[in-house]
Amino acid sequence: MKFFLDTADLAEIEEAASWGALAGVTTNPTLYARIGGKLDDFHNHIKRICDIVGPDCPVSAESVAMTRDEIVRDGRELAKIAPNVVVKIPTMVEGLAATRQLADEGIPVNMTLCFTVPQAILAARAGARYISPFVGRFDDISEDGLAQLDDVVRAIGNYDFTADTVNGEQIEIIAASIRSANHVTQAALMGADIATVPFGILKKCVSHPLTDRGLESFLKDWEKVQNA
């Protein structure tokens, strides 16, 4: 499983990229607003993210348009920012139509706000390169988001969608709305291709109290060696 960072914060992206395990970034309007982003700087900000992570790491930038023609127009403009930009489009009728058009033009799409197997299959058939089922938002309404993710992973894995994607790639499932390290664990066990996680959760994925305890013990023992 690959790790994407779910943020628009440049400092977080730079730090995560320095760890050597970051494979991509996902952004959305909420994350951009959270850092005080301005409309007239949005494209430049996405370009800065692309420059940080490099050309091999996809960066999802979301269209906020609501009609297919406007989404396609947005998508074309976003795709011009950098070759690794992926256009993020909500799973809805207009989004499906726009995804098909953009995919036919060679522009990769990440279909987001996906909550059901039928939505995921429709997104796949429309040509989405990535599909993002949300986990945490199901949990917010007292439903099992991990079970829904498992359903999507298994359903998409049942079929070959390579004829539908831009360059015949396999569709990748991005486990999104990740709220804990356990969400990451379960997504990996289910076979999700990617987990996109907030920086705080990514740090928790690295940490464990037994690691800290073991390191503390090693350092104490080495101090004894030095003083022997």
Active-site amino acid positions: 88
* Element at 203 (helix H, strand E): helix 199-206
Tokens of 168: 């015949």
Residue among 86, 171, 71 at smallest CA distance from 127 = 171
Q: Give the span between the Cα atoms of 164 and 31, in whole angstroms.
A: 30
Residue among 141, 132, 134 at smallest CA distance from 183 = 134
> In this structure, which amino acid lies at residue 138?
F
Q: Are 65 and 29 in contact (CB under 8 A)?
A: no
What are the Cα distances from residue 157, in Å, to 62, 90, 124, 131, 205? 26, 21, 11, 12, 26
